[in-house]
Structure 1
Amino acid sequence: MFVHYLKIAVRQLLKYRTQNLISIVGLGVCLLCFSISLYVGRFILATDSCFENRDRMAELHLTSASGETFAGTPAPLPLRLRQMQWDEVEAMTFVAYPGERSFRIEVQEGEFFPFAPLICLETDSCFRQVFGPDIVAGTWQAAVRTPNAVVLTESVARRIFGDNLSDAIGRQLETTLKLPFSQKRGGVIYTVQAVMADLPRNNSLNFMRPIDMLVLNDSDGLLQWEGNAEMTGGSTYALLRRGGKALQDLEESFRRAGVKYSLYNEEFEVSVWPPSKGFWKYSVASYMLGVALALGVLVLVVGLLNFFYFQIGSFLNRSREYSLRRVLGGNVRQLLAQLFVQAALVVLLAFLLTFCFIEALTPLLRFSLMEWELVVDASVLHWQCVQYLLCVLVLSLLVCAFTVMRARRATLQNGLRGQSVRSRHRMRTAMLGVQYFICWIFITLAAALYLQADKTTSALFGTLTNREKADILSISLDYSFLKNADKLALVERMKQHAGVADCLLADVAYTRGVSGNTLYTAPPDDENKREIYVNLLSVPQNFFEFMHIPLVQGRAPENSGEIVVDKLFEDDMLAERRESLMGVTLYDYRSSYAVSGVCAPLVANVYRRGNQPGFFSGFAFLPLDSNNYVGHCYLKCHPGQTDDVREYVTALLAETLPYTVRPEVGTLLADVEEMQGIESKLKGVVLFLAVVCVVITLLGVYAAITLDTERRRKEVAIRKVNGAGVRHIFLLFARVYLWTLGITFLLALPLLVLLLQQWSQLYAVFFGAGPLFWLGILLFVALVTALTVVFRIGKIARVNPAEAIKTE
Structure 2
Amino acid sequence: MLKNHLKIAFRNIRKFGLRSFIHVIGLSIGIAACFVVYNLVSYEYSFDTHQEDRDRIYRITSVTGNGQEEWPNPGAPIPLVEAVRNELSAAEEVVPIFSAYRFLVESADETENFGISTKVVFADEKYFSLFEYNWLAGSPSSALDQPNTVVLTNSVAKKYFGEQPLNEILGNELVYTDSLRVVVTGVVEDVKQKTDLIFTDFISYETLLSNKEIRARRNVDDWGSVSSNAQLFVKLGADQKEKAEHELLAIKEKYVESDGNWTTNFEFESFEDLHFSDTFSGNSADRSTLNGLIIIGFFILFIACINFINLETAQAKLRSKEVGVRKTLGSSRKQLITQFLVETYVIILLAIIGAALLSQLATSYFQEVLPADFKFDYWNINNALFLIVLSIVVLLLSGFYPSMILSGYSPIKAMKDKSIGHRKSNFQYFLRKNLIVFQFGSSIAFIIVVLAINSQIDFLLNRNIGFNKEAVLHISTPFQGTLDKTKLLKNELEAIAGVEKVSLSSDMMISGSLWTSTVEHDLNGAPEEVSMQFKTADTSYLSLYEVPILAGRNYTLDQSEIVINEAAVEKLGLESAHAALGKQVEYDSMYLSVVGVIPNIHTQSMHQAIRPMMLGYDERNLFTVNTKLAPNVDLKASVDAMQQAFKKIYPNETRKFQFLDETVEQFYTSEVRLRKVLLFATVIAILISCLGLFGLASFTIAQRTKEISIRKVMGASLSNILVLISKEYVVLIGLAFLLAVYPAWYFISNWLNDFQFRIEMPLGIYFISGIIAFVLSISIVSLHTWKAANRNPAKVLKDE
Task: State TM-score, norm by structure 2.
Answer: 0.80
Asked if 1 retains the 8 angstrom alpha-carbon contact of 2:95 and 2:130, the reply is no
What is the distance in 2 between the residues matched to 1:304 and 1:98?
A: 52
Asked if 1 retains the 8 angstrom alpha-carbon contact of 2:48 and 2:195, the reply is yes
1:298 partner SS: helix
Q: State the match for 1:20 in structure 2.
A: 20
Q: State the match for 2:774 in structure 1.
A: 782
AA aligned to 2:434 is A
Q: State the match for 1:599 in structure 2.
A: 598
**Equivalent residues in 2 for 1:443-458 (5 A)?**
443-458=447-462
Q: State the match for 2:564 in structure 1.
A: 565
Q: State the match for 1:743 in structure 2.
A: 735
Q: State the match for 2:66 in structure 1.
A: none
Give 1:195's match in structure 2, choosing from 182, 188, 196.
188
Q: State the match for 1:35 in structure 2.
A: 35
Asked if 1 retains the 8 angstrom alpha-carbon contact of 2:92 and 2:235, the reply is yes
RMSD: 4.7
2:206 corresponds to 1:218: yes
Alpha carbons of structure 1 residues 172 and 202: separation in structure 2 relative to 1, 3 Å: same
Provide, for residues 83-104 of structure 1, a one-character-per-residue CA deviation record: whole Å limited to 9, x for no partner: x7x9xxxx93223466442312
What is the distance in 2 between the residues matched to 1:692 and 1:126?
A: 51
2:345 corresponds to 1:344: yes
What is the distance in 2 between the residues matched to 1:397 and 1:391?
A: 10
What is the distance in 2 between the residues matched to 1:302 and 1:441?
A: 14
Alpha carbons of structure 1 residues 348 and 284: separation in structure 2 relative to 1, 3 Å: closer
What is the distance in 1 between the residues matched to 2:209 and 2:565?
A: 40
AA aligned to 2:533 is N
Asked if 2 retains the 8 angstrom alpha-carbon contact of 1:564 and 1:620, the reply is yes
Offset, 1:671: 0.3
Asked if 1 retains the 8 angstrom alpha-carbon contact of 2:565 and 2:612, the reply is yes
Provide, for residues 742-762 of structure 1, a one-character-per-residue CA deviation record: whole Å limited to 9, x for no partner: 323323322332333333332
AA aligned to 2:692 is G
Asked if 2 retains the 8 angstrom alpha-carbon contact of 1:5 and 1:338, the reply is yes
Provide, for residues 301-359 of structure 1, a one-character-per-residue CA deviation record: whole Å limited to 9, x for no partner: 23333344334444564222222222333333443343333322322222112223445
AA aligned to 2:336 is L
Q: State the match for 1:411 in structure 2.
A: 410
2:431 corresponds to 1:427: yes
**Equivalent residues in 2 for 1:683-694 (5 A)?**
683-694=675-686
What is the distance in 1 between the residues matched to 2:293 and 2:159?
A: 32
Q: State the match for 1:722 in structure 2.
A: 714
What is the distance in 1 between the residues matched to 2:14 and 2:8?
A: 10
Q: State the match for 2:106 in structure 1.
A: 106
AA aligned to 2:709 is A
What is the distance in 2 between the residues matched to 1:228 and 1:565?
A: 30
Q: State the match for 2:81 in structure 1.
A: 75
**Equivalent residues in 2 for 1:728-807 (5 A)?**
728-805=720-797
Give 2:544's match in structure 1, choosing from 540, 543, 546.
546
AA aligned to 1:434 is F
2:440 partner SS: helix
What is the distance in 1 between the residues matched to 2:634 and 2:781?
A: 49
Deviates more, 1:342-351 or 1:641-650: 641-650
What is the distance in 2 between the residues matched to 1:726 and 1:322?
A: 37
What is the distance in 2 between the residues matched to 1:559 and 1:110?
A: 39
Provide, for residues 381-439 of structure 1, a one-character-per-residue CA deviation record: whole Å limited to 9, x for no partner: 85444334323432454344433321233333432344425211222223333323432
Deviates more, 1:739-748 or 1:107-116: 107-116
Asked if 2 retains the 8 angstrom alpha-carbon contact of 1:366 and 1:375, the reply is no
Give 1:262's match in structure 2, choosing from 251, 259, 264.
251
Deviates more, 1:42-51 or 1:575-584: 575-584
What is the distance in 2 between the residues matched to 1:732 and 1:314?
A: 22
Give 2:629's match in structure 1, choosing from 597, 622, 636.
636
Offset, 1:380: 6.8
Alpha carbons of structure 1 residues 284 and 4: separation in structure 2 relative to 1, 3 Å: closer
AA aligned to 1:760 is L
Asked if 2 retains the 8 angstrom alpha-carbon contact of 1:148 and 1:216, the reply is yes
Task: State TM-score, norm by structure 1.
Answer: 0.79
Q: State the match for 1:620 in structure 2.
A: 614
2:143 partner SS: helix
1:474 partner SS: strand
Q: State the match for 2:659 in structure 1.
A: 667
Q: State the match for 2:234 in structure 1.
A: 237
Asked if 1 retains the 8 angstrom alpha-carbon contact of 2:548 and 2:598, the reply is yes
Alpha carbons of structure 1 residues 360 and 270: separation in structure 2 relative to 1, 3 Å: closer
Q: State the match for 1:66 in structure 2.
A: none
Alpha carbons of structure 1 residues 740 and 336: separation in structure 2 relative to 1, 3 Å: same
Alpha carbons of structure 1 residues 37 and 192: separation in structure 2 relative to 1, 3 Å: farther
1:264 partner SS: helix
Offset, 1:15: 4.3
Q: State the match for 1:329 in structure 2.
A: 330
Alpha carbons of structure 1 residues 321 and 728: separation in structure 2 relative to 1, 3 Å: farther
1:710 partner SS: helix
2:787 partner SS: helix
Alpha carbons of structure 1 residues 756 and 538: separation in structure 2 relative to 1, 3 Å: same
Provide, for residues 453-496 of structure 1, a one-character-per-residue CA deviation record: whole Å limited to 9, x for no partner: 222223373433xxxx4x52423141246554444454555455
Alpha carbons of structure 1 residues 535 and 327: separation in structure 2 relative to 1, 3 Å: same
What is the distance in 2 between the residues matched to 1:298 and 1:353?
A: 19
**Equivalent residues in 2 for 1:692-711 (5 A)?**
692-711=684-703
Offset, 1:672: 0.3
Alpha carbons of structure 1 residues 737 and 507: separation in structure 2 relative to 1, 3 Å: same
Offset, 1:669: 1.4
2:284 corresponds to 1:292: no
**Equivalent residues in 2 for 1:189-588 (5 A)?**
189=182, 191=184, 193-198=186-191, 200-201=193-194, 210-220=198-208, 227=221, 234-238=231-235, 246-247=238-239, 261-265=250-254, 276=272, 286-314=287-315, 317-359=318-360, 373=371, 375-379=373-377, 383-398=381-396, 399-419=398-418, 420=420, 422-459=426-463, 461-464=465-468, 469=469, 471-480=470-479, 483-495=482-494, 498-510=497-509, 511-513=511-513, 517-519=517-519, 532-557=530-555, 560=558, 562-574=561-573, 580-586=579-585, 588=587
Asked if 2 retains the 8 angstrom alpha-carbon contact of 1:507 and 1:630, the reply is yes
What is the distance in 2 between the residues matched to 1:722 and 1:576?
A: 84
Asked if 2 retains the 8 angstrom alpha-carbon contact of 1:130 and 1:239, the reply is no
Deviates more, 1:356-365 or 1:745-754: 356-365
1:93 partner SS: strand
What is the distance in 1 between the residues matched to 2:742 and 2:244?
A: 53
Alpha carbons of structure 1 residues 633 and 327: separation in structure 2 relative to 1, 3 Å: same
Asked if 1 retains the 8 angstrom alpha-carbon contact of 2:569 and 2:580, the reply is yes
- What percent identity do the matched residue pairs reach? 18
Offset, 1:701: 1.6
Alpha carbons of structure 1 residues 126 and 541: separation in structure 2 relative to 1, 3 Å: closer
Q: State the match for 2:134 in structure 1.
A: 134
Asked if 1 retains the 8 angstrom alpha-carbon contact of 2:95 and 2:124, the reply is yes
